[in-house]
Amino acid sequence: MSLARGIDPANHRELVHTVKALAMDAVEAAKSGHPGMPMGAADLAVVLWTSFLDHDPSCPSWPNRDRFVLSAGHGSMLLYALLHLSGYDLPLAELRRFRQWGSKTPGHPEFGHTVGVEVTTGPLGTGFAAGVGMALAERLLAARFNRPGREIIDHHTYGIVSDGDLMEGVAAEAASLAGHLGLGKLIYLYDDNQISIDGATDITFTEDVLARFAAYGWHVARVDGHDPAAIAAALTAAKAETARPSLIACRTVIANGSPNKAGTSASHGAPLGAAEVAAAKAAMGWPAEPTFHVPEGVRARSAAAQQVQRQRREAWELRMAAYRDAHPELAAELGSLESGGADAAALAAIPTFAHGGKQATRKAVQTILNALVAAHPALVGGSADLAGSNGVVIAGEPANSPKNPGGRVIHFGVREHAMAAIANGLALHGVRPYVATFLVFSDFMRGAIRLAALMRLPVIYVLSHDSFWVGEDGPTHQPIEHTMALRLIPDLWVVRPGDARETAGAWRIALRRGVGAGPTAILATRQDLPVLAESREEIDVGAYVLWQPDGDAPLDGILIATGSELAATLAAARDLAGRGVRVRVVSMPCWEAFEAQTAAYRDEVLPPSLQRRLAVEAGSTLGWSRYAAHSQGIDHFGASAPGPELAERFGFTAEAIAQRYLALPA
Amino acid sequence: MSLARGIDPANHRELVHTVKALAMDAVEAAKSGHPGMPMGAADLAVVLWTSFLDHDPSCPSWPNRDRFVLSAGHGSMLLYALLHLSGYDLPLAELRRFRQWGSKTPGHPEFGHTVGVEVTTGPLGTGFAAGVGMALAERLLAARFNRPGREIIDHHTYGIVSDGDLMEGVAAEAASLAGHLGLGKLIYLYDDNQISIDGATDITFTEDVLARFAAYGWHVARVDGHDPAAIAAALTAAKAETARPSLIACRTVIANGSPNKAGTSASHGAPLGAAEVAAAKAAMGWPAEPTFHVPEGVRARSAAAQQVQRQRREAWELRMAAYRDAHPELAAELGSLESGGADAAALAAIPTFAHGGKQATRKAVQTILNALVAAHPALVGGSADLAGSNGVVIAGEPANSPKNPGGRVIHFGVREHAMAAIANGLALHGVRPYVATFLVFSDFMRGAIRLAALMRLPVIYVLSHDSFWVGEDGPTHQPIEHTMALRLIPDLWVVRPGDARETAGAWRIALRRGVGAGPTAILATRQDLPVLAESREEIDVGAYVLWQPDGDAPLDGILIATGSELAATLAAARDLAGRGVRVRVVSMPCWEAFEAQTAAYRDEVLPPSLQRRLAVEAGSTLGWSRYAAHSQGIDHFGASAPGPELAERFGFTAEAIAQRYLALPA
């Protein structure tokens, strides 16, 4: 993959200086930012980008490009400088507008915002885990689609990670799983600068990082992070290691090149200041003016490299064309994956559920998922050690492992945060991940869920055991605030289906939300629920009239319910009707979908004239005042007891709901 | 500490069988639960409890007792059996009511609910981290209060941890920090049964756990977990190791003693079934009936042990009395710590802030915290590598380390989840922790915050950079949904002060919430805010009338604001008054405190007759409909740009607020 294996020291130095100067200038112009990391990591980044990274700036979406993850996202100017200098569509004018409104150079790299940025990073550790997802996707797709002599998917995932990344638990979880899976084409450079924000890392981080990673099953190495030949040799060795992921600790000096601030935490998160920038430029023989200076030699060598990169990508296109001829069906399937969304065949594969009988919505999830696997080849996922409980066991599908690298079932282990962050990497690499755990443990994943929403990735979260109906496991396992807390995340859609039929609808919502829309959480019950005759299997409207008494007499009010409260609420409304109180029941499985409807539709479902309303949901009431003046919910922690007993005590029987409605103030 | 160092094999076996039979019987009676872990770990737990754990069941609150953490909380019946058999106030009748409403034996152990339970566990990994907090508190208090020859604080923290615990990132973070800090009196037994819910651990967890912990700086060992002598020897060696925490991997067989289900994941989370229980009892020579059988010999030996335990504790009481005589001031200070809450002196030490000028509320936090350190000796805490940014730098207070074990400043590193979980352990051990990070990273801590709330621990979270005003760092660092998401957690109080004066009030709220009330989050700004003449320093009422136009003419409506929006909202109201629109401004820094007020007070602040209301808060609008029909908030992700520009674009200038009010529907 090397473009220039023989590194010319002078050329290397000039490019490194260019990167450093651009970073200093941009941070000065913005009057904020992080100069230390780009300067300290410039040597290793330049070696990686000039001599290893196989990409084509003229075709950023080339599927077989190497992926690059800047997990230490605060060093964004390092990435922007490299993107600019490599020929991506990121002109100097954008670098001059670093961290300004509407620029392509925000404070932390944002996927979908800046061409060439592979993943949004900043929250430490999550980029590390996303890279694991990318490497897993690469191996998975290679196993499924490559044929002897036709290795159309064959690339590396590289990254630069920091002390902070390696302190975070999400990275630890992901590293353990990457080691277990033996992701040999994942190669991280650890910018080991021994400085974090509060000072030297030895105030809190004295573990033997390389020994830890060796224990995870990683190939590890240590090099001088300012010695380009050593860095290149370590990268070459890492590429030669195909059975284990690699961590190369590169001892660097933060803000290397700054005469007075190098090696200090002062250079981490603030501009160096005009005087120090001048001193640094002088020390490296760089012109003080103009700022944002790029030497002609750097431009010329970049242009030559881009030519080579384009040729390499075009050679791949030829191989891909031959692959298409040889394996048209595989090629079509691969193409369907790359388009991201689910097609009509996948949607059609979702089974229907006859009304009558009872089943837990997690069981419906399992039925749906098993039907989808064949029809939706992009679907890949698993659970954080709760597959059976969550309803995501796929019959006959062996788990992904080094021996079965094409397996579409992933045993994530009890590693919820990494699971969600790895899912982001999977989605970024074009597969369609679903990941599962108990709803209460969505707390552990929020950081990564938020990033999925920010990147608008089509990740599906299956979150079962979605209320006090968990029962005996008690308050640590009973979600109370979680449903509403998920609704708070922008661009995440939350669907809480009321029975098996609505569960089918939930999957339709999730699958229709393609790339660019965002993630979807499907909340499922542990306990059985009646499959209603009144419910719908198409719930894209978000909320609809489930039932109301016959006849034209005016209605008294509305009961709004979601999920496991739907059947009891329907029974309550029927009971009320028997007492002469005419109440409509609205099923509202998805707030976000409902709010996307026209005002006319919303007013039809929830007529403004009918303000006597009670919302019923086994969770926090906060937020329900948006739709109903009153709500039957739970604003305290749960308790350990059988679910039906809790339903009695917490007021979620049909009788309790009816009584509550009758007791509403006039 | 050993009560019976020479382990009698027959006595050991009888007690182990009793524990196993109680666990099987209780799970059968409940028709749910986890028999596998209690049976597999019975040998090691019995060795620990009979020969090492120094406690006094007749005085569960003895300050110098060894702490025991069952991090694998699903094995709760192991703990309940041990508590019962050791003489704690947990009669057999409670074991018979395992997992039933109102029993003292909920599905997972709950601190504050069952005497002898040191910490609520269940969410894996968090118990591990809480134990680190306990061990840290022990060492910290020992360093501060012990005097030569008067080691009144000198005990161990023991725990049993599972595969699942060790897969969780929160435990990894905590383990790294525990190794760094050299917490030599922390000793964990790893129930290495090679089984998790989805099957054998080798499907996802093949790392070298002991090598990993050695890399963290732990003392590690491996033993046969069914060999009591080997377990005892390993525990003795771990106690002899005083500079490093210890992890003893005990190879066990899950559901050991169950002829057909031992060693299988089927025994993890479901009753064995009557036939298998009968077979297990037969195999160990146990009577099938009666259930919940406790042999006389077990009772007798327990009674004898309790006698010894009481004597040991009483001997400590004598030493403590001598300590009180020798060091009356230290003893008084220690006593004040143990009472938990802040006293009048601490409250009085909170500085006042004159109005005028501007300062960030994080700066006010720093001023307050530095004033509190001397007056509130229980206060201990730190930041996840953002001390300077969060405003929690304590002048002149060196950090806690092996060389300075009494240091009250803790460098948690970039380990937010462990920080919050360790804070729980600190609080459980009687110190008053404050922990700090950016508000956006409260997502990483939610699991542990929820447990603090469930345990009603007086942890204080300092969460700075509390809105888009973060500015250039962009959407990954700008909280949107976090303020409201925290308000959703039951028993957590969230205070978002509007200036330095209200920040003082926020600390008063936090300090007054003593043990048994719950945690408090204080949200602070990065940016400067005017210190208002109209604001209050006592905000225990949660919300109050900040300002309204003079005169008796009727008001047109109400503007409700929190935090950084308070000053702009006040300016908007003054501007409106200038235009003849008379609007009241209500400052509402703490919803929970406001809701604890009388209806009369609440109606006085927010008169029901005044329904023209606009709530102004730089965060999610969801939930504000509780107080105001309209709200000026942000329901989308932020952007990278200077804060003032974002305020213009997002509508948070005084002018935008005034215009929004004027545009409200009539």
User: Fold for domain B9-309?
Assistant: Rossmann fold (3.40.50)
How many angstroms separate the CA atoms of A426 and B164, rounded?
24
Mean pLDDT of A390-394: 96
Distance separating alpha carbons of residues A166 and A189, to the nearest angstrom: 12
Which of A198, A481, A487 has its CB closest to that of B489?
A481
Q: Which residue matches tokens 């040799």?
A: A233
Helix (H, G, I), strand (E, B) or coil at A361: helix
The span from the CA of B520 to the CA of B497, in Å, is 13
Residue A483 CA neighbour count, 13 Å, CB half: 33
- Other Cβ atoms closer than 10 A to B545: 14
Say which CATH class A544-662 falls into: alpha beta
> If you measure CA to CA, which chain B residue comes closest to A646?
B101
Q: Are A33 and A109 in contact (CB under 8 A)?
A: no
Question: Which neighbouring-strand residues pair with A359?
Answer: A529
CA atoms B356, B361, B367, B368: torsion sign: positive
Q: What is the DSSP letter of A514?
A: -
As a whole-number percent, the residues of chain A with pLDDT over 70 amount to 99
Query: Which of B99, B212, B635 is best to mutate for the A interface (most A CBs within 10 A)?
Result: B212
Chain A: residue whose CA lies nearest to B163: A414
Q: β-strands B195-196, B199-200: how paired?
A: antiparallel
Alpha-carbon distance of B245 to B561, in angstroms, equals: 48
Q: pLDDT confidence of A196, banded at 50, 70, 90?
A: confident
The catalytic residue positions of A are 416
- Determine, for residues A474 and B387 on separate chains, whether the beta-carbon distance falls below 8 Å: no
Q: Do B215 and A212 touch (CB under 8 A)?
A: yes
Q: Tokens 């002991």: give the residue.
A: B210
Dist CA A575 CA A36 (whole Å): 68
For residue range B571-599, what is the model confidence (pLDDT) as tens digits? 999 999 999 999 999 999 999 999 999 99
Residue A263 pLDDT greater than 50, yes or no = yes
CA dist B142 and B337 (Å) reads: 13
pLDDT band at A393 (very low <50, low <70, confident <90, very high): very high
Between residues A5 and B528, the one the model is more confident about:
B528
Whether omega before A290 lies within 30 degrees of 0, making that bond cis, reads: yes
* C-alpha distance from residue A536 to each of A366, A488, A500, A546, A591 (Å): 19, 25, 10, 8, 16
What is the mean pLDDT of the segment spanning A22-38?
Answer: 97
Query: Residue A635, Cα to own-chain centre: how many angstroms?
Result: 30
For a pLDDT cut of 70, what percent of chain B falls above it?
99
A378 close to A427: Cβ distance less than 8 angstroms: no
Confidence band for A344, pLDDT divided at 50, 70 and 90: confident
> In angstroms, rounded to a whole number, what is the distance separating the alpha carbons of residues A396 and A583?
47
Q: How does residue B7 score in pLDDT terms, banded at 50, 70 and 90?
A: confident
The full set of domain ranges for chain A reads 9-309, 341-530, 544-662
Q: Is the pLDDT of residue B340 over 80?
A: no
Cα gap A11→A624, rounded to integer Å:
62
Q: Which residue of B has its CA nearest to A490?
A: B636
* Option in B204, B443, B481 nearest A412 (CB): B204
CA dihedral B547, B549, B552, B555 (to 10 degrees): -80
Mean pLDDT score, B213-223: 98
**Is 50 exceeded by the pLDDT of residue A1?**
no
pLDDT above 90 covers what percent of chain A? 95
Q: Do domains B9-309 and B341-530 have the same CATH topology?
A: yes
| Short-list B87, B98, B130, B91, CA closest to B111 | B130
For residue B133, name the pLDDT band (cuts at 50, 70, 90). Answer: very high
Q: Which residue of B has its CA nearest to A635?
A: B490
Contact B207 A454 (CB under 8 A): no
* 3-state secondary structure string across A3-55: CCCCCCHHHHHHHHHHHHHHHHHHHHHHCCCCCHHHHHCHHHHHHHHHHCCCC
Burial class (CB in 10 A: 0-12, 13-18, 19+), A272: buried
Mean pLDDT across chain B, nearest whole number?
96
Residues of A in contact with B487 (CB under 8 A): 622
Across the interface, whether the CB atoms of A446 and B443 are under 8 A apart is answered yes
Amino acid A342: pLDDT: 73
Quick one: DSSP state of residue B250?
Answer: E
Tokens matching residue A49: 């980008």
Q: How far, in Å, are A433, A634, A640, B52, B605 from residue A482 at the CA level? A: 21, 12, 18, 40, 31
Question: Which CATH class name applies to B341-530?
Answer: alpha beta
Q: Six-digit token pair at B343?
A: 């006293």
Residue A88 reports pLDDT greater than 60: yes
CB contact under 8 A, A474 and B626: no
Q: Using an 8 Å Cβ cutoff, are B484 and A625 in contact?
A: no
Active site amino acids of B: 416
Closest CB from A120, A205, A622 relative to B623: A622
Least Cα distance to B176 among B499, B380, B414, B335 occurs for B414
Q: How far apart are CA B81 and CA B292, in angstroms?
A: 10
Instruction: Give the residue, A344 or B424, on which the prediction is more confident.
Output: B424
Q: What is the DSSP string of B46-89?
A: HHHHHHT----TT-TT-TTSPEEEESSGGGHHHHHHHHHHHT-S
Residue spans of alpha helices (H) in A146-268: 163-167, 169-181, 209-216, 228-240
Least confident of A140-144, A330-334, B280-284, B457-461: A330-334
Closest to B211 (Cα-Cα) out of B202, B220, B203: B220
Cα of A666 to nearest chain B Cα, Å: 16
| pLDDT of A411 above 80 | yes
Model pLDDT for residues B596-623, shown as the tens digit of each residue: 999 999 999 999 999 999 999 999 999 9
Angle subtended at Cα A641 by Cα A393 and Cα B82, rounded to the nearest 5 degrees:
95
Q: Which of B563, B518, B487, B520 is nearest to A484 (CA)?
A: B487
Do A180 and B205 count as a contact with CB atoms less than 8 A apart?
Answer: yes
Q: Return the ∠ at Cα A530 (arms to A527 and A535), rounded to 5°.
A: 125
| Residues B438/B463, Cβ–Cβ less than 8 Å | yes
Which residues in chain A touch residue B264, judged by CB atoms under 8 angstroms apart? none
CA nearest to A258, candidates A50, A37, A31, A11: A37
With an 8 Å Cβ cutoff, are B207 and A180 in contact? yes
What's the angle, vertex CA B120, arms to CA B119 and CA B126, rounded to 5?
90
Other Cβ atoms closer than 10 A to B244: 21
For residue A257, pLDDT over 50 is answered with yes
Q: What pLDDT sits at residue B530?
A: 98
Q: Is A275 exposed, middle or buried (0-12, 13-18, 19+ CB in 10 A)?
A: exposed
**Tokens (6 digits) for A566:** 């739907």
Strands (E), A261-408: 358-360, 379-383
Q: What is the largest CA-CA distance in chain A?
A: 90
Mutate to test the interface with B, among A27, A76, A204, A450 (most CBs of B within 10 A): A204
Residues A354, A531: contact at Cβ < 8 Å?
A: yes
In this structure, of A276-285, A627-636, B366-375, B509-518, the range with the lowest mean pLDDT score is B509-518
Q: Stretch A456-477: mean pLDDT, rounded?
A: 97
pLDDT at B273 over 70: yes
Is B368 within 8 Å of B350 (Cβ atoms)? yes
List the structure tokens of B320: 């403590």
